[in-house]
């Protein structure tokens, strides 16, 4: 991996995730708010993401589960010899037969009548992508089964059912009791299964969240320029608050954000397809956006010339435009971070720049709205989470978001949040402008009319 954020090992209990959390990488103790305390995770790297195209074929060829009568009970083959379990899905679906009526009375979207779309409704992915996710965690869920993982019928839980339980918990944000009732298992089982799934994904699926190599970055820049006209733009940055309740003994100003919520920050940088290519989380929501950025490893890498250091573009009289990302006015203007012009009396070129910058910038905003809409555990208020485990939950939701894109999967149209991902928060205004950043922004602003003339 490339640069990694520092972590703190979690040993407490999260509102739905029991047992000691295991977060690998370097460890760093929490600091007071003036040196913001955190349970920080940053993921960034370079490399290519590949999907096993044989998953679908393997699923079709898998042998069926053999069952025999033995004293009136069912005897199953060992878990590692069984094919994919599908029975759980039809049992689960039958328990939700009344959702159509509930939707009419309670305002919830009705369950699609099509079987494949219903599956996507509950678990956010197609069956093929679900099978791929199962293949990632299968070894861990088979080789290290925790004690007591049986359902109320006395049968061991299949890998597929364990993954379904965990993904339903993340997708719905419903309580462990509600999720357990839907699958015929207890609250403790939901807690154990979800945490084991998160641990396994955190360890084995990181290749789905990497900083692009140069070849991929050139594709990103070309596509962003085609959409926005901005030359050498590598992505968009934004951040959102993950709201939580805390025990009275833990409630403090450290975690109390400007909207008077207790929250944890998630900062994400996305590419042209709204894929996360770098995230930072674990920092208190009381911080400003600009401070969060400056505490991140990404900021340090950019300042050291180790990120956004690809080929420059030449404009006009040998003026150079380096690689950069775009962000809102809550961020400082830097040589590698372009923010909008502010003020009421803006020139036509400035207005033109702002419009094009917003086109690219909104990719970050939409990605976070899609993330929170898909994995509602991040959108609902979390009940007393373990703050050292919460970064792992956030990371895995970002990994699942990327896997859906990497598998060429699609979300249901009404999944994305209809409003802003951070409703209730006033927009911050950083007003910090680096002199070199101002020069580069002016060069880009002057380049845009030339781009329009040559592209027509």
Domain ranges of the chain: 41-48+210-455, 78-206
Q: Phi and psi of 38, rounded to 5°?
A: -160, 165
Q: Work out whether strand 262-270 and strand 324-326 pair parallel, antiparallel, or are unpaired.
A: unpaired
- What is the C-alpha separation between 356 and 358, in angstroms, rounded? 5
Q: Are 142 and 159 in contact (CB under 8 A)?
A: yes
> What residues contact residue 196 under an 8 Å CB cut-off, 6+ apart?
140, 141, 144, 146, 162, 166
Q: What is the pLDDT of residue 380?
A: 84
Structure tokens at 396: 């895995």
Range list of β-strands (E), 246-333: 262-270, 276-284, 313-315, 319-321, 324-326
- What is the C-alpha separation between 450 and 456, in angstroms, rounded? 10
Nearest to 283 by CA among 384, 195, 387: 387
Q: What is the pLDDT of residue 90?
A: 83
> What residues contact residue 144 under an 8 Å CB cut-off, 6+ apart?
196
- What is the C-alpha separation between 425 and 133, in angstroms, rounded? 35
Convert 370-393 to b/e letters by CB count within 10 Å (16 or more is b): bbbbbbbbbbeebebbbbbbbbbb
pTM over 0.85: no
pLDDT along the chain (456 residues), means of 10: 36 35 33 48 42 40 33 36 68 66 53 84 94 96 68 73 96 92 90 95 97 98 97 97 79 82 95 98 94 97 97 85 97 98 93 96 95 92 79 97 95 67 76 95 88 56
Q: Assign 3-state DSSP to the chain and report helix, strand, coil percentages, each to 5.
A: 40, 15, 45
Q: What is the pLDDT of residue 20?
A: 32
How far, in whole angstroms, is CA 342 from its chain's centroid? 30
Query: What are the pLDDT digits (tens) for 76-126?
Result: 334 444 456 678 888 888 776 654 444 444 455 677 778 888 899 899 999
Three-class SS of residue 283? strand
> What residues contact residue 290 under an 8 Å CB cut-off, 6+ apart?
330, 331, 332, 428, 430, 432
Place of tokens 């961020």: 331
- What is the C-alpha separation between 181 and 195, in angstroms, rounded? 18
């Amino acid at each position: 991996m490339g640069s990694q954020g520092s972590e703190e090992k979690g040993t407490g209990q999260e509102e739905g995730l029991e047992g000691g959390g295991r977060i690998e990488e370097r460890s760093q103790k929490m600091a007071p708010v003036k040196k913001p305390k955190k349970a920080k995770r940053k993921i960034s790297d370079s490399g290519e993401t590949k999907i096993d195209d044989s998953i679908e074929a393997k699923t079709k060829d898998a042998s069926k589960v053999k069952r025999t009568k033995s004293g009136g009970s069912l005897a199953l083959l060992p878990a590692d010899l069984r094919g994919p379990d599908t029975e759980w899905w039809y049992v689960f679906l039958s328990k939700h037969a009344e959702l159509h009526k509930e939707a009419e009375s309670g305002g919830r979207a009705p369950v699609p009548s099509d079987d494949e779309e219903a599956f996507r409704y509950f678990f956010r992915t197609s069956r093929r992508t679900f099978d791929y996710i199962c293949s990632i965690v299968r070894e861990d869920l088979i080789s290290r089964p925790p004690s007591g993982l049986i359902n109320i019928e006395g049968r061991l839980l299949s890998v597929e059912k364990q993954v379904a339980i965990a993904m339903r918990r993340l997708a719905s944000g419903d309580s462990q009791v509600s999720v357990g009732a839907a699958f015929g298992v207890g609250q403790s089982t939901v807690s154990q299964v979800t945490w084991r799934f998160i641990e396994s994904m955190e360890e084995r699926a990181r290749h789905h969240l990497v900083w692009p190599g140069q070849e991929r970055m050139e594709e990103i820049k070309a596509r962003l320029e085609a959409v926005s006209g901005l030359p050498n733009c590598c992505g968009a940055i934004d951040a959102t608050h993950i709201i939580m309740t805390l025990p009275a003994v833990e409630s403090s100003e450290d975690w109390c954000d400007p909207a008077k919520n207790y929250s944890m920050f998630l900062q994400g940088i996305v590419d042209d397809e709204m894929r996360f290519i770098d995230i930072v989380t674990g920092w208190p929501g009381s911080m400003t956006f600009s401070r969060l950025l400056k505490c991140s490893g990404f900021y340090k890498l950019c300042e050291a010339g180790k990120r956004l250091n690809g080929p420059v573009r030449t404009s006009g009289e040998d003026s150079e435009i380096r690689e950069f990302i775009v962000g809102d006015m809550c961020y400082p203007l830097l040589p590698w971070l372009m923010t909008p012009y502010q003020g009421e009396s803006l020139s036509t070129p400035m207005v033109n720049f702002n419009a094009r910058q917003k086109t690219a910038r909104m990719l970050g905003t939409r990605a976070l709205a899609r993330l929170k809409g898909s994995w509602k555990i991040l959108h609902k208020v979390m009940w007393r989470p373990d703050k050292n485990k919460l970064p792992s939950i956030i990371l895995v939701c970002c990994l699942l978001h990327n896997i859906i894109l990497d598998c060429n999967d699609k979300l249901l149209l009404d999944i994305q949040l209809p409003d802003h991902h951070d409703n209730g928060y006033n927009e911050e205004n950083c007003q910090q402008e680096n002199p070199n950043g101002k020069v580069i922004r002016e060069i880009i602003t002057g380049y845009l009319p030339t781009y329009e003339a040559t592209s027509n």
